[in-house]
Amino acid sequence: MRIYRAKNYQELSRKAANIISAQIIIKPNCVLGLATGSSPIGTYRQLTEWYEKGDLDFREVKTVNLDEYVGLSGTDHQSYRYFMNDNLFNHVNIDRQNTNVPNGKAADLQAECKRYNELIRSLGGIDMQLLGIGRNGHIGFNEPEEAFEKETHIVNLTDSTIEANARLFDNIADVPGQAITMGIKSIMQAKRILLIASGKDKADAIQKTLFGPVSPKVPASILQIHQNLTVVADDDALSECGLGSEGMIVC
């Protein structure tokens, strides 16, 4: 794995965007796996800025998002479809037909999970998967469990995840209790994985993810065995890893 240490969130966002932009330039019709939440917002802003300068072209890019809340339509301001439109898709020249987010309002949720798995396969898999990380080590909405979930599935969100996401809703009671999420197998089959993390509240999860035992109790720990993992994290997120002050560490 390669670990890039950033001084702050701004530097982290620029470095992550640089890695993603290189993927797009090398393979203009690449398939990007995308994430939501606060961590990638700066990265998406940087990608938008480079697009506006004429440095990036999204016309052939295809995307698959990690997850979506059950019960929210894509027009709901709290949905992850809305988040992606608002933070990236509305600001670049991507074909909206090439952007994919699970349907949280599907009448048959199990059929929707199957459809999403088949969609990823039909695209030839994911060239680069962007991930954030939860304070309990979840990636996507793969919560700590007794076993790793393989493919797209329905998950009951933990109290800690609901609490962490409550800041985005008017009331904690409004946070959906379930989500559709891409599974660990789908994530691990991506050709490249880019994990980003910022802040002291992610330090314990990052330490356990990168240097603890591989365990479904810390879902992100499975990333240790991926052959092409890049981590971009700021000083605070890396504060419990004892890695020194180098700009890049290869483990």
pLDDT, tens digit (0-9, with 9 covering 90-100), for 124-166: 999 999 999 999 999 999 989 888 988 999 999 888 888 888 8
Joined together, the tokens standing for residue 84 give 């992606």
Residue whose token pair is 């690449």: 30
**76 among known catalytic residues:** no
**87 among known catalytic residues:** no
pLDDT at residue 58 greater than cutoff 80: yes
Please tell me which residue in 65, 98, 117, 136 is annotated as part of the active site. Answer: 136
Please tell me which residue in 68, 112, 127, 143 is annotated as part of the active site. Answer: 143
Please tell me which residue in 87, 127, 138, 153 is annotated as part of the active site. Answer: 138
Distances (CA, A) of 173 to 24, 136, 160, 211: 39, 21, 13, 35
Which of 49-58, 204-213, 239-248 has the weakest average pLDDT?
239-248
Query: What average pLDDT score do residues 76-90 get?
Result: 96
**153 among known catalytic residues:** no
Query: What average pLDDT score do residues 31-54 get?
Result: 97
Domain 2-250: top CATH class: alpha beta
Query: Model pTM?
Result: 0.94
Residue whose token pair is 């880019």: 194
pLDDT tens for 201-228 read: 999 999 999 999 999 999 999 999 999 9
pLDDT higher at 173 or 119: 119
Please tell me which residue in 67, 127, 151, 236 is annotated as part of the active site. Answer: 67
Nearest Cα to Cα of residue 101 among 176, 186, 33:
33
**85 among known catalytic residues:** no
